Structure 1
Amino acid sequence: MFDKLVNYSLRNRMIVAVAALVLMFYGAFTLTQIPVDVFPDLNKPTVTLQAEAGGMAPEEVEQLITVPLETAMGGIPGVESIRSVSSVGLAFVYVTFDWKTDIYRARQMVGERLSTAREQLPAGVEHVGMGPVSSIMGEIMSVALPIDPAKISPMAVREYADFVIRPRLLTIPGVAQVVPIGGEVRQYQVQPDTARMSGLGVTIENIEDALKG
């Protein structure tokens, strides 16, 4: 077979030369059409879930938040793997799909499961949602705000990070997400006096209704 191919090429040099030139010009044209990226995105479509629960230890976050979210995401068509990270007051769940899955279709399916999973999470869990569409190869920068407790409270620093620093960082081109961690989050607590409530005929349900407006 190889001998026949060589003999045919020797007898038809002009045809072989023309075919080689056509292939060469076609390759040069195709090379100019190939998209070039310094850091190409080689990651599979991934949807990131984030939940914040201030005051919970990593073990509590894993048992009460991470595991229910992972269970709810299981069985979604196209899911290849589910990974998670549990830390103090924060839970991250990474749902990875196969290459053929459209990222926006994947986010839609995850959002449907997430709406059901929210009902299984304990009270006090806030900001349960999906992260922005971004690559895992994106860089992560940690910024610390050192303070002197004698001059300023951790609560004031956290509010400054939430309402001043975070909005400004989100206006920078290329920044996909900013997550403040630490400090003290302002809370308003209602501590019922059961003795006076009993005398006035007020129940816990009445207080809850009044707080909800």
Structure 2
Amino acid sequence: MIKKIVEFCLKNPPAVIMIAALTGGMGIWALKTTPIDAFPDISENQVIVSTQWAGRSPDDVQDQITYPLSVELQGIPGVKQVRGMSGFGFSRIYIVFEDRVDFYWARTRVLERLGGLGDLLPNDALPELGPDATPLGQIYWYTIEGPLDLGTLRTIQDYTVRYALQSIPGVSEVSNIGGFVMEFQVDVDPNQLFSYGIDIQQVNEAISRSNIDVGARTIEASGMEYIVRGTGFLNGIEDLEQVLVTSRDGVPVMLGDISSISTGPAFRRGALADHNGEIAGGIVVMRKDANPVRVIDAVEERLAEIAPALPEGVIITPYYDRRELVLETVETLSGVIAMEMLITLIVILIFLVHLRSSLIVTATLPYAVLLCFAAM
């Protein structure tokens, strides 16, 4: 067999050159299009389901969320293993599929199963899928700094930077970290509640009932059609103070009469800081099988576009960039291949004293690398 192949190559040089050029071109195309990362992705083919249930103990979360979900998700085709974890106020379930199962097909089947849970879970516990990324998907970390308070910096990250980066192809998620999430805080006076005979549940219902827009029908008059709607969304502290809680002897009791209302940071369990103090920032998570170099290039282009729209003095500074590690890895590999080619050329030239033979053998090294990329 080998003899026939050698004879064919010797008798048909043009065909050999054409085949070599074709396969080499395929290798060059694959080299430019194949995603290259610095770390091998050896993670399992898995889908993550996260559920928040605020204020509940790990035992309650295990009994009412993690265990029922684990049993329900075991019946999905292609599932190899289901692992669950319960913590304070949250549940996380890892559904591991067989390697032959398509990643996005698995996510679709899990989402279908979650949509048919019905009354299996508590009303205030809503499961959701994790990002379509791998554990190695965090490719770009950045901070937002400036002469503003942490609440304002976090708001810029939540509603300006995050939305701009989320729409980039290849970005699965932009996670927020650090700063303060601002909220309206209602500090109820228990003495006022007792004097008016009001419980805290009535206060919660009054706020929820008042923070809503109401849609209605239309009115036709003089050949014109008018759309009728009731506006009721709360826009500030003044609106909250005018929320009607109840009435006593015909006198309305407003929320401002029984509580102190202000804006402040929400409760948090972590922070982001450097040598200068606390800061706000974000983490860009890459979608599975995306090219990290291209994604990071697109992220920096988008950050440059939104920079003029940021408040004066606010800057975005990267402090982890996977692209640098990827490019250094590729540069190291290229240097090693070049060094091997040089050594091979010199050694064969010394022993055979024949330049053509040395060049033919040396050319097989980069050609073999291109064939490996073509096989991917």
Give the TM interval when normalised to the shorter protein. 0.5 to 0.7
Query: Once structures 1 and 2 are overlaid, which stretch shifts more, 174-183 or 41-50?
Result: 41-50
* Matched residue, 1:145: 143
8 A contact 2:49–2:92 mirrored in 1: yes
Q: Which has the higher strand share?
A: 2
8 A contact 2:64–2:122 mirrored in 1: no
**Aligned partner of residue 96 in structure 1, secondary structure:** strand
Write out per-residue CA displacement over residues 184-212 of structure 1, whole angstroms, 9 at most, x where no aligned residue.
11122222222222222333232122111
| Equivalent position to 2:112, from 84, 95, 108 | 108
Say if 1:160 and 1:178 are closer, same or farther in 2 by CA, change over 3 A: same
Question: What amino acid is aligned across from residue 192 of structure 1 in structure 2?
Answer: V
Say if 1:146 and 1:62 are closer, same or farther in 2 by CA, change over 3 A: farther
Question: What amino acid is aligned across from residue 177 of structure 2 in structure 1?
Answer: I
**Aligned partner of residue 47 in structure 1, secondary structure:** strand
1:173 aligns with 2:177: no
* Matched residue, 1:199: 195
Say if 1:116 and 1:100 are closer, same or farther in 2 by CA, change over 3 A: farther
Question: What amino acid is aligned across from residue 176 of structure 2 in structure 1?
Answer: P
**Aligned partner of residue 202 in structure 1, secondary structure:** coil
Write out per-residue CA displacement over residues 5-62 of structure 1, whole angstroms, 9 at most, x where no aligned residue.
xxxxxxxxxxxxxxxxxxxxxxxxxxx9xxx8836998654222345689x9xxx996
Question: What amino acid is aligned across from residue 129 of structure 2 in structure 1?
Answer: M
8 A contact 2:48–2:129 mirrored in 1: yes
Give the CA deviation at 1:96. Answer: 1.5
8 A contact 1:85–1:92 mirrored in 2: yes
8 A contact 2:53–2:124 mirrored in 1: no
Question: What amino acid is aligned across from residue 81 of structure 2 in structure 1?
Answer: E
Say if 1:73 and 1:105 are closer, same or farther in 2 by CA, change over 3 A: same
Question: CA separation in 1, counterparts of 2:63 and 2:174?
Answer: 24
8 A contact 2:133–2:172 mirrored in 1: no
8 A contact 1:66–1:92 mirrored in 2: no
Question: What amino acid is aligned across from residue 171 of structure 1 in structure 2?
Answer: S
Say if 1:186 and 1:91 are closer, same or farther in 2 by CA, change over 3 A: farther
**Aligned partner of residue 184 in structure 1, secondary structure:** coil
> RCO higher in 1 or 2 (8 Å CA, sep ≥ 6)?
2
* Matched residue, 2:153: 157
Say if 1:108 and 1:45 are closer, same or farther in 2 by CA, change over 3 A: farther
Root-mean-square deviation (CA, aligned residues, Å) is 4.4
8 A contact 2:151–2:181 mirrored in 1: yes
Give the CA deviation at 1:169. Answer: 0.7
Q: Any unmatched runs of 5+ in structure 2?
A: 1-25, 210-376
- Same amino acid, percent of matched pairs: 17
Structure with max Cα Rg:
2
Question: What amino acid is aligned across from residue 80 of structure 1 in structure 2?
Answer: Q
Q: Aligned residues, how many?
A: 168
8 A contact 1:62–1:86 mirrored in 2: yes
Matches within 5 A, 1:13-92: 38=34, 45-50=45-50, 69-75=65-71, 76-77=74-75, 78-82=79-83
* Matched residue, 2:213: none
* Matched residue, 2:95: 95
Question: What amino acid is aligned across from residue 83 of structure 2 in structure 1?
Answer: I
**Aligned partner of residue 144 in structure 1, secondary structure:** strand
Question: CA separation in 2, counterparts of 1:139 and 1:53?
Answer: 26
Give the CA deviation at 1:90. Answer: 8.1
Question: CA separation in 2, counterparts of 1:64 and 1:162?
Answer: 31
Query: Once structures 1 and 2 are overlaid, which stretch shifts more, 95-104 or 153-162?
Result: 95-104
Question: CA separation in 1, counterparts of 2:81 and 2:66?
Answer: 13
8 A contact 2:144–2:157 mirrored in 1: no
8 A contact 2:61–2:86 mirrored in 1: no
TM-score scaled by length of structure 2: 0.35
Question: What amino acid is aligned across from residue 46 of structure 1 in structure 2?
Answer: Q
Write out per-residue CA displacement over residues 48-103 of structure 1, whole angstroms, 9 at most, x where no aligned residue.
2345689x9xxx9967768865434322223514266979x987543212346641
Give the CA deviation at 1:155. Answer: 1.1
**Aligned partner of residue 178 in structure 1, secondary structure:** strand
TM-score scaled by length of structure 1: 0.57
